[in-house]
Amino acid sequence: MKTKSFKRKTKKSFYQSRYKRSSSGKRNFATKINPNKFINKAIKNQKDEDYKAKNNFADFKINQQLIKNVLNKGYKKPTPIQDQIIPYVLENKDVVGIADTGTGKTVAFLLPLINKLSNNSKEKALIITPTRELAMQINLEFRKIVGGMSVFSVCCVGGMNIGKQISKLRRGPSLVIGTPGRLKDLIERKIIDLRLFNSVVLDESDRILDMGFIKDTRFIINKMPQEKQVLLFSATASSKIETIIREFTKKAIRISIKTRDTSKNVDQDVIRIQSGKNKMNVLSELLNKKEFNKVLVFGRTRVGVERISKTLIVKGFQAESIHGDKNNFQRQKALKSFQKNKVQVLVATDVAARGLNLFRVSHVINYDIPATYQDYIHRIGRTGRWNQQGVALTFID
């Protein structure tokens, strides 16, 4: 009797949970997601233009050269998160921003930080991100809007030459952008002196928690002066996020522009794989349709992603892959090919689910169901960005 009971319990537990290997290599079990949560219609024709901004960029009390750079980059007026957050950051207040990806939050913290750095050569700021791709993207955005100003940055991430990063750090940059592990390494080597930094940004804080980087992040924050400005951004709100908000911020101003869990610009649906068909054939049929012109496909494992990519290439599709087994050069090469529309399909693990500003992705396809609903939110956030309409499809076996 005990044996039978144990078997029934094991079968139920397996149904309720799925196996997942995290980026750190640890084994976790993730709760099964109700497929109905993958169905959500986009809200048509509702854009940021409907939002009545209180400010124009010229209204912010920031360096005129910086305003000129932003306008030259093509920004016409602040997005909702920029309009609401920038004034508080300029007042040196701690700020918590809860917003979808693709809403302009990077500029929301970069503009006031650059202004602070340019006004005082002794000021230094730190930006902590969960992934190297996000850190590099923020660094690129910084360089685009800092022209003609006497501030410069260093991007410190794993998988790249630490010697070059050390050499640049010794020049005394105003801004350091990096991932927790590499930053901790440089701090322990006494290359970065956090006593000199009085502003810190925690970008994609929920992912920092999800990826197990909170200990390294806490180590970094605790090395900084007690009196500092903390800007914390997250695409999701949870009890864990509330915990680190209380731990890291003081009397923070909270700004939330989320109206629902997923972007209103993304049309979401499921595709049930019928008996006798396999997912690869279904995927191929979809990719042959004209509207599937720039597609991000998510798989669960590194091996699986590589297999999907190679199979698509054999079938005649232009495809690339990105996952943790590829070095930084290979990952950047794949991303650039996808960005420049040299390939139709980018197949990825969740390494590409956060922070990447991929332009005009027509479709996100969850070839494998994500481990958690939070992962789903971040995956489909790669489409429907900057008021563009997007489609997210999830395969259900």
At 262, list the tokens.
């997923």
**Distance (Å) of CA 330 to CA 74, 322, 326, 368:** 30, 8, 6, 23
**Mean pLDDT (whole number) for 236-254:** 91
pLDDT attached to residue 26: 41
Using pLDDT thresholds of 50, 70 and 90, give the confidence band for residue 261.
Answer: low
Are 33-45+262-396 and 63-256 in the same CATH fold? yes
Of all residues in the chain, the percent with pLDDT exceeding 90 is 60
Report the range of poorest mean pLDDT among 23-27, 42-46, 170-174. 23-27
* pLDDT of 220 above 50: yes
**Mean pLDDT (whole number) for 150-165:** 94
Alpha helix ranges (H) inside 158-258: 162-169, 180-188, 205-210, 214-222, 239-248
Alpha carbon distance 318, 320 (integer Å): 7
pLDDT attached to residue 253: 96
**Distance (Å) of CA 388 to CA 82, 141, 277, 376, 396:** 18, 20, 32, 19, 26
Using pLDDT thresholds of 50, 70 and 90, give the confidence band for residue 17.
Answer: very low
* pLDDT of 136 above 70: yes
Exposure string over 48-82, b if 16+ CB within 10 A, otherwise e:
beeeebeeebeebebbeebbebbeeeebebbbbbb
Using pLDDT thresholds of 50, 70 and 90, give the confidence band for residue 2.
Answer: very low
Side chain identity, residue 238: S
Highest mean pLDDT among 2-11, 129-138, 228-237, 294-303: 294-303
CB 57 within 8 A of CB 292: no
pLDDT attached to residue 1: 42
pLDDT attached to residue 297: 97
Q: Domain locations in the chain? A: 33-45+262-396, 63-256
Alpha carbon distance 187, 181 (integer Å): 10
pLDDT attached to residue 38: 85
pLDDT attached to residue 21: 43
pLDDT attached to residue 373: 84
CATH superfamily of 33-45+262-396: P-loop containing nucleotide triphosphate hydrolases (3.40.50.300)
Of all residues in the chain, the percent with pLDDT exceeding 70 is 86
Question: Angle formed by the axes of helices 214-222 and 239-248, to 10°?
Answer: 10
Q: What is the mean pLDDT of the chain?
A: 86
pLDDT attached to residue 259: 56
**Mean pLDDT (whole number) for 356-363:** 83
Of 142 and 104, the one with more pLDDT:
142
CATH superfamily of 63-256: P-loop containing nucleotide triphosphate hydrolases (3.40.50.300)
Report the range of poorest mean pLDDT among 53-62, 264-273, 380-389. 380-389
CB 277 within 8 A of CB 249: no
**Distance (Å) of CA 33 to CA 18, 205, 352:** 10, 23, 21
CB 358 within 8 A of CB 340: no
pLDDT attached to residue 20: 42
Alpha carbon distance 317, 299 (integer Å): 17
Closest CA to 380 of 274, 266, 299, 230: 266
pLDDT attached to residue 356: 67
Report the range of poorest mean pLDDT among 173-177, 191-195, 257-261, 343-347. 257-261
195 secondary structure, DSSP code: G
